[in-house]
Amino acid sequence: MKKRKTKSAISSKYLLLIMTGVCVIAMLIGFTFNISGGPLHAVAGYVFIPMQKGINRIGGFISDKADSLENLSIVMAENEALKKQVDELTTELNTIKLERYELENLRELYDLDQKYPSYDKVAANVIGKGSGNWFHSFTIDKGSKDGVETGMNVMAGSGLVGIISEVGPHYAVVKSIINDTSKVSGMVVTTSDNLIVYGSLQKMSESMTIEFGSLNDRDNEVEVGDPVVTSYVSYDYQQGILIGYISEISTDSNNLTRSGTITPAVDFEHIEEVLVILNKKQTTGD
């Protein structure tokens, strides 16, 4: 059952409205007739001054928040500008690094070219490679239209890469000396002893080396670290191109020859540009 509102509650409500009205009327009268002091002034001071202070506080708070939001917007805009500047500088730095890398590669090719001045050469870029991590067989962007023929020698880095095995009008395929089917007649520079260098992808994967054998070194003069170059007796390769360096050596069971491994002069994991020697030996079949 609902309880009825008591008269006292109703009276209090209307009494509050009446008092509020009186205060408003008193203020209007005071402002209209420029009345200062007295009870009206006291009532106004008691009621409205605290309200004004509260309004001022709220206004100040809102103003501070607005200033903070404005400052935040400025900071965010500056942050976006800095991010854009960082991106531009990063792009510029990467471009500089790439140009420097390309310059170093070109300088390396130039130095290699200067080591073998008696040969005519053409530079080429690698555009494809065989499966796996090693450049045991790869394609370059120069072909018969550029004077490239099968049997021509290919160099990169510090020495011999391999030989042209296939040619098209605008491309050629290179078979590297690390290829399992590769065989090169070599010579130890320090002793002029001849040997045979064999490609071996397994050895490259195990120790980044290739194999050699049939070394006639009865006095055991050949040592680890000795350079090996292409031999003058080679049918397919020009003489004196650096193949690599002796890394291991041992005497064969016949006690007549020695064999071991060679660390190639070329990084066969990373080949991007090569030099093709346009001069070739008149006979083939190493």
From 147, 153, 158, 120, select the one nearest 238 (Cα to Cα): 153
Of 86, 115, 144, which marks where a domain is finished? Answer: 115
Q: Which of 53, 88, 115 is the last residue of a domain?
A: 115
126 & 110 share domain: no
What range does the domain containing 52 cover?
21-115
Do 142 and 232 lie in a common domain?
Answer: yes
Domain boundary at 115, 131, 154, which?
115
Q: Is residue 163 part of a domain?
A: yes
Give domain status of residue 185, yes or no. yes
Assess whether 98 and 135 both reside in one domain: no
List Cα–Cα distances, 131 to 136, 140, 142, 190, 263, in angstroms.
Answer: 9, 16, 21, 36, 22
The verdict on residue 4 lying in a domain is no
The reply to whether 107 and 212 lie within a common domain is no
| Total count of domains within the chain | 2
CA distance 79 to 76: 5
Q: What span, in angstroms and rounded, lies between the C-alpha atoms of 186 and 196? A: 6
Same domain, 95 and 131: no
Each residue's pLDDT expressed in tens, for the chain with a length of 286 residues:
445 555 544 555 665 667 666 666 666 665 555 555 555 555 555 555 665 566 566 666 666 666 777 787 787 888 888 777 777 777 666 666 555 655 566 667 667 777 888 889 999 999 999 888 899 999 999 999 999 999 999 999 889 999 999 999 999 999 999 999 999 999 999 999 999 999 999 999 999 999 999 998 878 899 999 999 999 999 899 999 999 999 999 999 988 899 999 999 999 999 999 999 999 876 544 5
For residues 144 and 110, membership in a common domain is answered with no
Q: Distance between CA atoms of 180 and 75, rounded to whole angstroms?
A: 63
Does 144 share its domain with 80? no
CA distance 189 to 179: 23
Q: Are residues 136 and 265 in the same domain?
A: yes
- For residues 79 and 141, membership in a common domain is answered with no
Picking from 154, 266, 251, the residue whose alpha carbon sits closest to that of residue 208 is 266
Q: Are residues 104 and 246 in the same domain?
A: no
